[in-house]
Structure 1
Amino acid sequence: MRPYIPKPTFAFCHSLLPSRLRPAASPTAPAPPLTVQALLTTAGLLPHHLDLSLVALNSLLRVLSRRASSAAHPLLALRLFTLMLSHASPLPSPDHLSFPFALSAAAIVVPSPGNQLHALLVKNGLFPADHYVTTALLQLHAPRPGDARRVFDELPRREAIHYDLVIGAYARAGMAAGGLDLFRAMFVDGVVPDAVVLTTAIAACAQAGALECGEWVHRYVERTAPGLLGDAFVGSALVSMYAKCGCLQQAVLVFDGMPERNDYVWGTMVGAFAVHGMAEEAVACLDRMSTEDGVRPDGVVVLGALSACSHAGKVEDGLSLLKEMRSRYGVAPGHEHYSCTVDMLCRVGRLVDAVALIETMPMAPLASVWGSVLQGCRMYGNVELAEVAAAELEKLGPGADEGVYVQLSNIYLDANRKDDARRVRKLIGSRGIRKVPAYSAVEVDGEVSSFVADDQAHPQLVEIWSVLGLLADQMGREPDEEDTLATLS
């Protein structure tokens, strides 16, 4: 016998129809019937046994919060959660397991009701008392490291997962040095890092170029948990860190010492060779994978080998790999493989061949492809093709590449077409386009310092000017503005 569904419950569920929650969608688009059916069934399931109903609702919230099959599902989850909070609703009130799912949905929805949920958690005493709620709240604020750190600082008891979330938030925001500071504080607080935190910290060392810190973590693992050196994620992080910090030999030693190596580990080693432009070694790994460990390369590993060919200027090897990757390794070339090959051709000035390859692509070229062409035009002074690349990038919509017009302006200047350069600069100003400044980082005595062009707020600006003055004395002239910008960048 089917469970009885009270009319008020039916009305509330009917208000949750996805078609009413997606104003941007076509009004004639049908609502997903499975979602509606699940809502109706769950809301009316054993209405006299609220504990079982709450378990079912939490399961439904969990599925919807993860964008199960529709972009509208997280919004649907929040609407359902709001009804559970309402005193007028026949649905059971949410418990401490309901809130993490609501926070996961809030992290996806724009605009996010995350701040309101945060306040509700504090009001109900669930933060910072509940572990699951706290973890979900840190994940919600992870895109904003400052907010995540404020939540973290309010925790009376911190666990390894909390450190991992905040360290990762710093690293993803390009603030790896802040994450490493927190990693060091972890030991002061007496919290023992697990494999996940160690992997995140090692990745932050690689991003910041903090070799000394990375070596310390390596020694710590060797001393306290040597078995973790065989972990695919910890081992791969160490290989990548040493390679990015210029210690390829040490990266190979870590790789060779791992008892088991899967495709992820092999892909990291291929990437390490690629960083150092060792194309032959990278391509050889594709065959070594199967002979040594019985592992078949996937698209990511092949892409790493293509990147190595690009960095080393091994154009013919790269073209052969792209042509034969399906027959040799059973991997169909994707957009990223074509993009890497186009970049490889542009690096050596074969711009006509690059455009010819683009015309053979089985998919529409994205910004990365035409961006490589534009960069190649800058290097080799091809103004006509640069205009074509810029026009193709503009077709992809605003924001496809913030540096397109800056690049085009520089290409005009290099070709002494000053009028065209001024026209593009005016266009940049009228559209409010701003290129995100690049930055450099260097480790000195265990401390990581970052520099951006024309940085007037750097705490060691005086020392930088002093060194610049010494260099200028060696060259027999005074430093000018161009020297200053070059040093700071």
Structure 2
Amino acid sequence: MRPYIPKPTFAFCHSLLASRLLPSAASPTAPLLSIQALLVTAGLLPRHPDLALLALNSLLHALSRRAARPAHPRLALRLLRLMLSPTTPPALPAPDHLSFPFALSAAAALDAAPSSSAAAGTGPGPQLHALLVRNALFPADHYVTTALLQLYSPRPDLARRVFDELPRREAIHYDLLIGSYARAGAPAEGLSVFRTMLDDDGVAPDAVVLTTAVAACAQAGALDLGAWVHRYVERAAPGLLADAFLGSALIGMYAKCGCLEEAVRVFDGMPERNAYVWATMVGALAVHGMAAEAVACLERMAREDGVRPDGVAVLGALSACAHAGVVEEGLRLLGEMRPRYGVVPGHEHYSCAVDMLCRVGRLEDAVGLVETMPMAPLASVWGSVLAGCRSHGNVELAEVAARELERLGGSADEGVYVQLSNIYLDANRKDDARRVRKLIGGRGIKKLPAYSALEVDGEVSSFVADDQAHPRRFEIWEVLRLLADQMAQKPNEEESVELICVLAGM
């Protein structure tokens, strides 16, 4: 029987390791203190190697995250190398199947660091992957395979290779791969994995993977598949509809796909609605410009479910006011946030209010609000001002906004200069427009094109502005021409119905 060590003694051992090792993380190149000596001092080596391994794994877990200090993940990998290296007695315990997932998390944290410059395949992650294969921990161990999928989640192609090698796939593996595709802007591929999960592999999805799949449907505009997932849950696992995250995902999916009535039906059918669910419903109403209903939700939350509005819910209501153009209601809401709801306005709330004012041409009021913000305005605020200046032809304020964006680092975005150039062109200041265009070419500034996606007859189609490669571009252009003609003619009700029939036939 293993000798008993009291919990306070073990806690002392862990704190001793942490207090002596964590300070050295400030300098990743500094020599590690003798871990063997610390473990011997703590009474764990050589008598209790299992407890020594538990202490080291706990320390690996703490070091694997970048929350406390950016250098900690690097120190975690150094600690793992020390556990793998042959040393003079008393030797450190060898890492087990729990040690490596923590090390993989550390490798993922290093890869995600802004200063990371390692090329694909050369960082610590692939090296650990090879070590795990050599030691038969991959693909045999569940914790290791899950950690590997998390490591490669920013690269769906690599995550798919790991996934394809798994002899036994579980719901979490599908969730990670579907999410990897969705975050990479390829939700259709993620949904294909979801179909395979149900149709070919016969794995029952849990609430987490269903939530990820529904979110991918919303991103891809795949209403039919999202509704099918909803019906699947109602038929196979109706209890999951009480899950706040799954319910919120369904509400958001229906709202983004234009089915607000279905979103409301899901919302009304949930037995328990927390602040997260209410904020999602407010956001759904905001997408459809229903400002009065969105603001009313802030009162309904407390009255119906005893939930106090948080910053996210109030932001959704402000966004609804911006979309609907009810500026005074939005400004009143901004002013009442703290006294009425106990929510301190954040930068995102001020940014939304500035955007609301700019949409209706109250540019001077928008700049006045910027000047009264209790925090420094970020690029989102001045970006709204610049866009408002383009819509309402204010050159002077546009130049101010462009200078502020450049000061904040926005000069790396071609969109700022394109906006300013177009404002100059609209004001017939062609020389200034040419000067700005030369800046774009001279600095090598690039802007990634935005794209839209929607589902047509079960097939997800994406397109960008002025798309010359879309296979149905001629049909798209014809629909746009019809819409432009109808808007120019201000058609009566009968003509509007005829246009809708034409579009539906396509």
| Matching of residues 367-386 of structure 1 within 5 Å | 367-386=379-398
Q: 1:170 to 1:15 in 2, by over 3 A?
A: closer
Q: 1:415 and 1:22, CA in 2 relative to 1: closer, same or farther beyond 3 A?
A: farther
Of the three residues 193, 204, 213, the one matched with 2:216 is 204
Q: 2:422 aligns with which of 406, 410, 429?
A: 410
Question: Which 4+ stretches in 1 moved above 3 angstroms?
Answer: 13-16, 35-45, 398-402, 453-458, 463-476
Q: 2:153 aligns with which of 142, 158, 170?
A: 142
Q: Which residue of 2 aligns with 1:236?
A: 248
- Counting only pairs closer than 5 Å after superposition, residues 32-51 of structure 1 correspond to structure 2 as 41=38, 44-45=41-42, 46-48=44-46, 49-51=48-50
TM-score (normalizing by structure 2): 0.84
Aligned partners of 2:412 and 2:445 also within 8 Å: no
Task: State the distance in 2 between where 1:320 and 1:444 align.
Answer: 41
User: Alignment partner for residue 275 of structure 1, among 271, 287, 296?
Assistant: 287
Give the 3-state SS of the residue equivalent to 1:346 in structure 2. Answer: helix
2:137 corresponds to 1:117: no
**1:65 alignment counterpart:** 64
* Alpha-carbon offset, residue 332 of structure 1: 0.4
Please give the secondary structure, in 2, of the residue aligned with 1:441: strand
The one of 259, 262, 273 aligned to 1:261: 273
Cα distance in 1 for residues equivalent to 2:296 and 2:22 = 60
> Helix, strand or coil for the counterpart of 1:403?
helix
- The letter of the residue matching 1:325 is M
* C-alpha contact 1:371 1:401 (8 A) present in aligned 2: no
Residue of structure 2 equivalent to 1:342: 354
Residues of 1 paired with 2:400 and 2:480: CA distance?
A: 42
After superposition, the Cα gap between the structure-2 partners of 1:146 and 1:81, relative to the gap in structure 1 and judged at 3 Å, is same
Inter-partner Cα distance in structure 1 for 2:240 and 2:382:
42
1:104 paired to 2:116:
no
Q: 1:16: how far off?
A: 8.0
1:42-191 equivalences under 5 Å are 44-45=41-42, 46-48=44-46, 49-88=48-87, 90-109=91-110, 110=116, 111=118, 112-187=123-198, 188-191=200-203
Q: How far does the alpha carbon of each residue in 1:236-278 deviate from its partner, in whole angstroms, 9 at most, with x for none?
A: 1111111111011111111111111000110010001000000
Shift of 1:406: 2.0
Q: Work out whether residues 367 and 401 of structure 1, in 8 Å CA contact, stay in contact via their aligned partners in 2.
A: no
Q: Give the distance between the partners of 1:62 and 1:345, measured in 2 at CA.
A: 48
- Contact 1:277–1:311, Cα closer than 8 Å, also in 2: yes
8 Å contact 1:42–1:56 — kept in the other structure? no
Taking a change above 3 Å as real, the CA distance of residues 475 and 390 of structure 1, as seen in their structure-2 partners, is closer
Residues in 2 aligned to 1:198 and 1:184: alpha-carbon distance in whole angstroms: 11
TM-score, reference length from structure 1: 0.87
1:19 corresponds to which of 26, 39, 43: 26
Q: How many pairs are equivalent?
A: 454
Q: Is the 8 A contact 1:166 1:179 kept in 2?
A: yes
RMSD: 2.8
Partners of 1:56 and 1:416 lie apart in 2 by 71
* Conserved? CA contact 1:180–1:205, under 8 Å: yes
Match of 1:450 among 452, 462, 468: 462
How far apart, in 2, do the equivalents of 1:280 and 1:474 lie? 29
* Contact 2:138 2:144 (8 Å CA) reproduced: yes
Unaligned runs of 5+ in 2: 1-8, 11-16, 111-115, 486-506
CA distance in 2, matches of 1:386, 1:38: 60
> Which residue identity lines up with residue 291 of structure 2 in the other structure?
A
Work out whether residues 16 and 79 of structure 1, in 8 Å CA contact, stay in contact via their aligned partners in 2: no
1:132 corresponds to which letter in structure 2?
Answer: Y
* Unaligned ranges ≥5, structure 1: 4-9, 24-34, 477-489
Structure 1: distance between partners of 2:482 and 2:352: 43
Q: Does the 8 A contact of 1:279 with 1:309 survive in 2?
A: yes
Supply the distance in 2 between the matched residues of 1:363 and 1:287 (Cα, whole angstroms): 28
